Structure 1
Amino acid sequence: MTLEQQLIQKTYYQMFINEHENMHPIRVLGEVFQEEAHKDMPDLSNIRFAQGEVYFHHKDYETAIFKWENIANELEPWAKKNTADAYYELGMASTAEDIYTAIHTDDPILNAEVALKLFSLYIDRGKLDAAVSTIKRTVQQNPDYPNVTEIARTFFEDRGDWENAVELAVNEAKRTESLQWFDILLEYVEKGVTKGFAPSYFSHALTMLFYQNQKKFEQLVGALWNSCRHEDSYFTWVNEINHLLLNLDLERSDGWALLSKLHKEAYFDLINGKYFIKQLRDYVPDLLTNWLRLADKDHVVISSAAILSWNELFPASLSVSIVKEAENLISTIEIELNELQECLTLFDTIMDWAEAHDMGTNSRVKWMVEQLVDFETYRILVTGLTGSGKSTFVNNLFDEDLQDSPTSTMVMFKNADEQEITEITDFEITRLEEFADFQERMDRMRNALESIIEFKQPNGFLKDSGLAIMDTPGLKGSHHDVLEVLKNFHVADTILFVLDANTPFSEKERAALKQIQELAPDIPVHFLLSKMDTIANEHDAIRIYQEVKSTVHTMLPDAKIFAFSSQYDRQTQINELQEFIQSIKHTRNLEDKRLAKLLYYIRTMLSSFLQKRIDVENQLVEAVRWNEEMHLKLNGAINQMHDTVAHKAEMLARSYRSIKESMQEEIASAVPKMLQECSELIKEDSNFSRIHLELNDEMNHRLQEFLEEKMMPKYYRELQDWIGNCTEELEQSQEFLNELADSFNSMYGEERLTLSCDFKVLDDWRRDTDRMTNGFQLEKVNILLRRTPSQFLLKSAGKLFGALSQNKAMLHNKYKAFVENEDYTEVADDVGRQFFQPFELFEKSLERDVNMFFKGPLGVLNHSVEEASAEIQKNQELLDQMNTNPEMFRDPLTLFEVRLRQFEWMTVAGKGMQTIY
């Protein structure tokens, strides 16, 4: 055992034992100590050091400390370390820590041991940051010290301190080049604990691993790649690994299956429409270069096609040498390629993108693609000029009047176990429940060509022939008409052009045929000569047939002709037609032709999306302009309504006040006269001591009768006339609002605004006036009982002289004169106030009621203004976004074009096909 091991294990004392193994170590060391002590220059430090070890092992820590504190030779640093160990065992961790940290030595072993002791002490004391710092420093200073890296790894893993654990694994992998540490790092990556590190952090270690073990290198790169796939650092990782691989000596023959697969997945992920081209320009060229360098046999062609397609759309972005290598590989390697599946995958990706970006569901295109991949059914498109007899032929084919008039929509007839009729548009697929719904679609005039009808029902002819018949609306002969009617005809495998036997090959028919050949030169055209039963005799029929056949062969040498008559025996004609159909069915290379059509639809779709983007922008501009105009008009209508409300409220209140004022004047005029007329009640024999009381009662009585029996009925009639006039005024306002709503609804193109006023207001007025004019009770008015000087003198004289007969004549005259000449203005005002008091609240609420009447329309208009403002803001934001980031729309379509070209390049290495452009 070496001295270092003895010091570490505290077994240094054993060197003093030797032949005294049967004696207790304390006794042996005591004797050695005494022997050394008697020397002239004794050296007791080594013995004390050994004694301390023995005491430590026997848990006599205080004695051990005493011995170790008296060491003065080269063992002193170890003695300090042991002293700290003893304090640690005594539970005096703080003292132990102070001693450990005070030890300074150049001995790496002692330093390591002290550090490991401190590390354990820090853990026990919960000082984890200090523990981390200590173990990291220990690993850095003496990584080869036994178990130190393992201790560190275990500590980091137990704490979940993956940052330090990963750092340890990377550093040790680079230092030791040990596959064990690379395996540990791989384990960390697969756990997902390396995501916080920059991808460049692993580059050096990966380079070292490449030259040491390529399979392990590929495995670790794959794990890192997958861990970054959905992280923000993904682009950084792709860039870093690309630069790393470009500088490595990669050989395709070494078999990099995993890396090849990862490059394929990364490439297709990058060009699936989620990223902008400016983001990809710095990554894709290097990615493709590396992919070709390491592509396995399953990916050589696809990586070559990817390079060639990318180079086509982004010239000079790839090196000339790598492009040439791709061209060479794709021209010399043949592969079995599932073209249909690849094409459908691309189609689905584009459709998913379109739906996610509000480009519509494109139900019609989806339906057409479904038809193209149905290889069990052969599709014949039947077309011809209007009036050629096409509908008669179709009805005869199904032995029922499916169309009682010329069709206006394309219909595909298919065999099925039961009848099912479906309408397909760009936006939806709708089941038509009734046959009448089908006929309604056939007869419509507007937007008829915007849909396709799929008509399924049991049909032996279609079933036995494996056919689907596509019937089109009749052609009118113009270029635009043919293009519009036949815009979906690429889904057909063969075209059957119907000719009228009476006027075959008119100029319009020739023009339509020429256009069909230009639009789809790959679709064979054959002819059906209809209305043969209208020919006068058999000789003429044969002549016409031969003339048409000769003309057809001149124009289309491979075309065939079938003569049809609705008067022939149906079954015989069906059998002959079946033979004719079998003769024109070209199923050779049908799958390749259908695939070419799929690519055609994909190209058409991409072009339509580009145009749709322009259309969307124009629609947004128009929507903003239209809503701004509507906003202006709606605000104008609101302002006009506010003026109307104010005007109506003022006018109706003024007319009400006019009635009230007229009534007030009448009361003010009638009351004084009525009271003055009460003088006739004064007689010479009246009891003048009470005459003022009797007169006052009579006057109130007459006022009550006057107001209740004359004025109140008159006021009621006046109010009813007033309400009638108000009704006319408000109805005129409603008519105006109805016209205003019609005007706005016409601009909206739908019944959006309903400006209905609240006529319950008038009902409330009628109810209120009925209630308030239903009787009147005048509170007794003090007319002759006031304390005016004249009334006071008169009443006093009556009481004083009323009993004297000789004074009655005088009092009679005085009273009569007083009643006739008294000023009753104040009384009249008081009576008027009482009369109109119940109507005060009604009068004050007139303006509020008029506002309530118009509240509904104003609310509708204000809401419409808010909607217009919201639409302006929304559309303007979308427009700004489109103008600010045009690549948001353009770039995905460009990348889909890359994928399409890549697919077409791949077919060069496959079995090949004809491409439709």
Structure 2
Amino acid sequence: MTLEDQLKQKTYYKMFINEHEDIHPILVLGEAFQEEATKDLPNLSSIRFAQGEVYFHHKDYEAAIFKWENITEELEPWAKKNTADAYYELGLLSTAEDIYTTISSDNATLNTEVALQLFSLYIERGKNDAAVATIKRTIASNPEYPNVTEIARAFFEGQQDWNNAVDLAVSEAMRSEDLNWINVLNTYVDKGVTKGHAPSYFTPALIRLFQLDKKIFEQLVSSLWKSYEHEESYFTWIREINQLLLQLDLEREDNWHELSSLHKNSYFNLIEGRYFIKMLQEFIPDMLTNWLRLADERNVVLSSAAVLSWNELFPTTISLSIVSEAEKLISITETDIDELEESLSLFDSIIDWAAAHDMGENNRFKWLVDQLVDFDRQHLLITGLTGSGKSTFINTVLGDDLQDSPTSSIVMFKDGKEEEITEITDREISRLDGFAEFQERMDRRRNALESIIEFRSPNGFLQENKLAFIDTPGLKGNHNDRYEVLKNLQVADAVLFVLDGNAPFRDKERGILVQIQELAPDIPVHFLLSKMDTIVGEQEAVRIYQETESLIHSILPDANVFAFSSQYERGQQLKDIKEFIRSIKTTRNLEDRRLAKLLYFIRTIIASLLQKRIDVENQLVESIRWNEEMYTKLNGAVNQLKDTEVQKTRAISKSYRTIRETIQQDIAKTVPAMLKECSALIKEDSNFSNIHLELNDVMNRRLQEYLEQTVMPKFYSSLQDWISYSKEEFDQAQEFLNEMGDGFNQMYGEEHLALVCDFKVLDDWLRDTDRMTSRFQLENVNILLRRTPSQFLLKSAGKLFGAISQNKAMLYNKYKAFVENEDYAETIDEVSKQFFQPFELFEKSLARDVTLFFKSSLRNLETAVEEAKLGIESNQDLLNKMNTNPEMFRDPLTLFGVRLRQFEWMTVAGKGIQTVY
């Protein structure tokens, strides 16, 4: 054991024991001390140091401290360290820390031991930052010290201090080149605790690891790749790792299976339409370059196709040497990749993207692709000029009068367990209710070619021959009209061109044939010579057949020609047709042909979606313009309706006030006269002491009778007329709103806006007027019992002089004159007030009621205004995004084109370099 080991383990004292192992160390050291003390120049430090160790081991820490405090020379630093250890054991941590921090030495072992003790002390005192700093300094100064890195690792992991743990693993892996540290780092990556580190942080370690062990290098790269995959730093990682790989000497023979798979999956994820090309261009070329350099056997063709397709779209972004290598590899390497599955996956990606970006359901394309992958039956497209006899042929073969009028849509006839007729358009797929509705679809003309009809029914001929007929509308002379019919040619495996035997293969048919060959040059075309029974003479029929066949073969040498007549015996005719169809069926490479057609349809849908993007932009512009126009007109309509509401409120309220004022005038005119007539009730022999009471009662009774029997009926009648007048006003308003609504609904193209008023208001008015005019009770009016001076004097005189007979004549004349000359203004006011009091609330609510009448219509108009406003804002926002970021639509479709071109390259793998189209 070395001296340093003895000092570390506090076993320095054993140097003094030697042969005295059976004697207690304290006794041995005591005797040694006494012996040394007798010398002229005693050196007692080493013995005291040893004694301190023995005391320490026996937990007599105070004695140990006493011994170590007097140590000098080379053992002094170790004595200080041991003294601090003793205070540490006594629990005097602060004192121990002070001593540890004052130790200064050039001895690396001592310094490391002191640091480790401080490290433990800091942990115990909860000073984690100090502990981290101490252990990091220790590793930096003496990383080879036994267990120091393991101690640090355990501490960092225990504290879940993953940044420092990762730093330790990376630095130790690079320093020591110990692959165990790479394994530790890999576990950290798998835990997900390295995501916070920049990808470039790991580059130096990866470079070193590549030199040490390529397989472990691949494992670590794979782990890091997966950890960054869903992080914001993913693109940074892709750039960093591919720039690193470009610097490394990669050999395909090293079998980089995992890296090859990672490049493949990441590349396809990146080009599936979620990212802009401008961003991808920064790292895709490097990524494809590296993928080709390290691609394993399963991915050599795929990576080569990816390089070539990307290079076609973005020339010069990939080095010429890599492009040349890709061309070489794809020309000599066969592939077992399921191209059909990959193509269908691409098609589904495009359809999903289109649906997510409001580009329609594209049901026609879905249906067409479904037919292409139905390898159990072949598709024979039957076409010809209108009137060529095409429908007769189909009816004869299928045994039903399915086509009793010209076809307007594309129809596919299939064998099925039961009759099922389906109409497919881009927007929807709908089930037709039987043959009658199918025939109705066939009779239509407008937008007929926008749909495809699939007609399934039990049919022995189609089942036996594993065949489906695709019937087209009759072709006409116009090139564009023919294109609309023939644009679905690619779904067919062969074409049967029906010719009229009476005028076969004219210039018009030849023009159609040229167009078919332009649209689908690889689809074989055969001919059916129809209506042969209408030709007079068998010799003439044979001549026409031979001449027609000769003309056809001069253009299409491989085409077959079949003579057909609906008058021939059906059984024999079907047998001949069966043989003919067997002769023209495609029997070789059907799946390869269908794959080429699938790629054609994928290219077609990409082109159509690009056009749809333009159409969407135009539709948005038109929608904004239309909504702006509607917004202006609807706002104008709102103002018109409000003006109408104000005008009707004024008219109806004015009419009501006129009635009330008329009644008030009648009351003001009639009541005074009626009350004055009561003077006839005053007689000379009347009891003038209470005559005023009797007169007041009589007057009230007459007022009650007048108001209830005369005024109220008249008022009721007037109110009925007023309600009738109000209804006319409301009817006019409703008629005006109906015209307004019809105008707007014509612009909407549907019954979108309902401007219906609430005529229940009139019912409420009728009910209220019936209730309020059914009975009237006048509260007793104080007519002659007022405390006016004249009344007061008259009543007082009646009481005072009424008993004296000679004074009655005078009182009679006075009372009579008073009753006849009184103006009764207060009485009139009081009577009017009582009469109209029940109607006050009614009158005040007229404006509110008229508002309620128009409320629903106004609300609907205002809702339409808000809809138009939202339509402007939302469409303008989308249009701005489209114009600001045209790549939102263009880039995904461009990338879909890259993927399509990639599959096209794969179809020629191992066959030499050539293009599909």
Tell me the TM-score normalised to structure 1 length: 0.97
Residue number in structure 2 paired with 1:116: 116
Q: Which amino acid aligns with 1:584?
A: I
Q: CA offsets per residue over residues 617-666 of structure 1, 9 Å max, x none?
A: 11111111111111111111111111111111111001100111111111
Q: CA offsets per residue over residues 177-211 of structure 1, 9 Å max, x none?
A: 12222222222223322211111111111111212
Q: Which amino acid aligns with 2:373?
A: V
Q: CA offsets per residue over residues 646-690 of structure 1, 9 Å max, x none?
A: 111111001100111111111101111111111111222222222
Distance 1:382 1:822, change over 3 A: same
Residue number in structure 1 paired with 2:695: 695
Provide the rounded CA distance (Å) in 2 between the counterparts of 1:20 and 1:789: 150
Residue number in structure 1 paired with 2:73: 73
Shift of 1:912: 8.0
Residue number in structure 2 paired with 1:288: 288
SS, match of residue 909 in structure 1: coil
Residue number in structure 2 paired with 1:340: 340
Q: CA offsets per residue over residues 837-883 of structure 1, 9 Å max, x none?
A: 11111011100110011111111111111111222111111111111
Alignment of 1:406 onto 2:398:
no
Provide the rounded CA distance (Å) in 2 between the counterparts of 1:266 and 1:282: 15
SS, match of residue 298 in structure 2: coil
Mark the runs of 5 or more structure 1 residues left unpaired by the alignment: none
SS, match of residue 430 in structure 1: strand
Residue number in structure 1 paired with 2:561: 561
Residue number in structure 2 paired with 1:58: 58
Moved more, 688-697 or 344-353: 344-353
Q: Which amino acid aligns with 2:858?
A: L
Provide the rounded CA distance (Å) in 1 between the counterparts of 2:742 and 2:319: 67
Residues 597, 916 of structure 1: 8 Å contact kept: no
Mark the runs of 5 or more structure 2 residues left unpaired by the alignment: none
1:181-220 matches, cutoff 5 A = 181-220=181-220
Q: Which amino acid aligns with 1:6?
A: Q
Q: CA offsets per residue over residues 812-836 of structure 1, 9 Å max, x none?
A: 2222222111111221121111111
Residue number in structure 2 paired with 1:142: 142
Residues 761, 852 of structure 2: 8 Å contact kept: yes
Residues 905, 916 of structure 2: 8 Å contact kept: no
Shift of 1:143: 0.3
Provide the rounded CA distance (Å) in 2 between the counterparts of 1:350 and 1:822: 100
Residues 343, 903 of structure 1: 8 Å contact kept: yes
Residue number in structure 2 paired with 1:444: 444
Residue number in structure 2 paired with 1:14: 14
Alignment of 1:378 onto 2:363:
no
Residue number in structure 2 paired with 1:43: 43
SS, match of residue 908 in structure 1: coil
Residue number in structure 1 paired with 2:581: 581
Shift of 1:26: 0.4
Residue number in structure 2 paired with 1:768: 768
Shift of 1:336: 4.3
Moved more, 506-515 or 873-882: 506-515
Shift of 1:558: 2.5
Shift of 1:327: 2.7
Q: Provide the alpha-carbon RMSD of the alignment.
A: 1.9
Residue number in structure 2 paired with 1:95: 95
Residue number in structure 2 paired with 1:849: 849
Residue number in structure 2 paired with 1:419: 419
Provide the rounded CA distance (Å) in 1 between the counterparts of 2:836 and 2:141: 108
Residues 593, 914 of structure 1: 8 Å contact kept: no
1:230-269 matches, cutoff 5 A = 230-269=230-269
Q: Which amino acid aligns with 1:668?
A: A
Residues 330, 910 of structure 2: 8 Å contact kept: no
Shift of 1:534: 3.4
Provide the rounded CA distance (Å) in 1 between the counterparts of 2:915 and 2:205: 49
SS, match of residue 230 in structure 1: coil
1:477-492 matches, cutoff 5 A = 477-492=477-492
Residue number in structure 1 paired with 2:734: 734
Residues 389, 531 of structure 2: 8 Å contact kept: yes
Provide the rounded CA distance (Å) in 1 between the counterparts of 2:584 and 2:129: 86
Residues 593, 913 of structure 1: 8 Å contact kept: no
Residues 487, 519 of structure 2: 8 Å contact kept: no
Residue number in structure 2 paired with 1:778: 778
Shift of 1:43: 1.7
Provide the rounded CA distance (Å) in 1 between the counterparts of 2:374 and 2:544: 38
Alignment of 1:817 onto 2:820:
no
Provide the rounded CA distance (Å) in 1 between the counterparts of 2:721 and 2:511: 77
Provide the rounded CA distance (Å) in 1 between the counterparts of 2:914 and 2:141: 70
Provide the rounded CA distance (Å) in 2 between the counterparts of 1:315 and 1:914: 18
Residue number in structure 2 paired with 1:552: 552
Residues 904, 916 of structure 2: 8 Å contact kept: no
Residue number in structure 1 paired with 2:429: 429
Residues 332, 910 of structure 2: 8 Å contact kept: no
Alignment length, in residue pairs? Answer: 917
Residue number in structure 1 paired with 2:125: 125
Provide the rounded CA distance (Å) in 2 between the counterparts of 1:243 and 1:93: 52
SS, match of residue 298 in structure 1: helix
Q: Which amino acid aligns with 1:880?
A: N
Residue number in structure 2 paired with 1:808: 808
Shift of 1:139: 0.9
SS, match of residue 414 in structure 1: strand
Shift of 1:536: 4.3
Provide the rounded CA distance (Å) in 2 between the counterparts of 1:567 and 1:382: 20
Alignment of 1:525 onto 2:530:
no
Q: Which amino acid aligns with 1:344?
A: L
Q: Which amino acid aligns with 1:626?
A: W
Shift of 1:506: 4.5
Residues 222, 262 of structure 2: 8 Å contact kept: yes
Residues 332, 912 of structure 2: 8 Å contact kept: no
Q: Which amino acid aligns with 1:620?
A: L
SS, match of residue 907 in structure 2: helix
Shift of 1:901: 2.1
Residue number in structure 1 paired with 2:647: 647
Residue number in structure 1 paired with 2:534: 534
Provide the rounded CA distance (Å) in 1 between the counterparts of 2:102 and 2:311: 68
Q: Which amino acid aligns with 1:578?
A: K
Shift of 1:414: 1.2
Distance 1:914 1:211, change over 3 A: closer
Shift of 1:713: 0.2
Moved more, 136-145 or 228-237: 228-237
Provide the rounded CA distance (Å) in 2 between the counterparts of 1:787 and 1:342: 110
Shift of 1:913: 11
Shift of 1:98: 2.0
SS, match of residue 497 in structure 1: strand
Residue number in structure 2 paired with 1:602: 602
Moved more, 512-521 or 633-642: 512-521
SS, match of residue 562 in structure 1: strand
Q: Which amino acid aligns with 1:836?
A: F
Provide the rounded CA distance (Å) in 1 between the counterparts of 2:87 and 2:884: 72
Residues 29, 47 of structure 2: 8 Å contact kept: yes
SS, match of residue 687 in structure 1: coil
Distance 1:910 1:464, change over 3 A: farther
Moved more, 679-688 or 648-657: 679-688
Q: CA offsets per residue over residues 11-63 of structure 1, 9 Å max, x none?
A: 00111111222211101111111111222222211111100111111111111
Q: Which amino acid aligns with 1:504?
A: P
Provide the rounded CA distance (Å) in 1 between the counterparts of 2:261 and 2:797: 132
Q: Which amino acid aligns with 1:240?
A: E
Provide the rounded CA distance (Å) in 2 between the counterparts of 1:255 and 1:514: 52
Residues 327, 913 of structure 2: 8 Å contact kept: no
Provide the rounded CA distance (Å) in 2 between the counterparts of 1:865 and 1:910: 65
Identity %: 70
Provide the rounded CA distance (Å) in 2 between the counterparts of 1:385 and 1:328: 49
Residues 489, 519 of structure 2: 8 Å contact kept: no
Residues 116, 135 of structure 1: 8 Å contact kept: yes
Shift of 1:887: 1.1
Residue number in structure 2 paired with 1:455: 455
Residues 592, 914 of structure 1: 8 Å contact kept: no
Provide the rounded CA distance (Å) in 1 between the counterparts of 2:545 and 2:677: 121
Q: Which amino acid aligns with 1:93?
A: L
Q: Which amino acid aligns with 1:81?
A: K
Moved more, 120-129 or 631-640: 120-129
Distance 1:262 1:151, change over 3 A: same
Residue number in structure 2 paired with 1:753: 753
Residues 689, 795 of structure 1: 8 Å contact kept: yes
SS, match of residue 498 in structure 1: strand
Distance 1:286 1:914, change over 3 A: closer
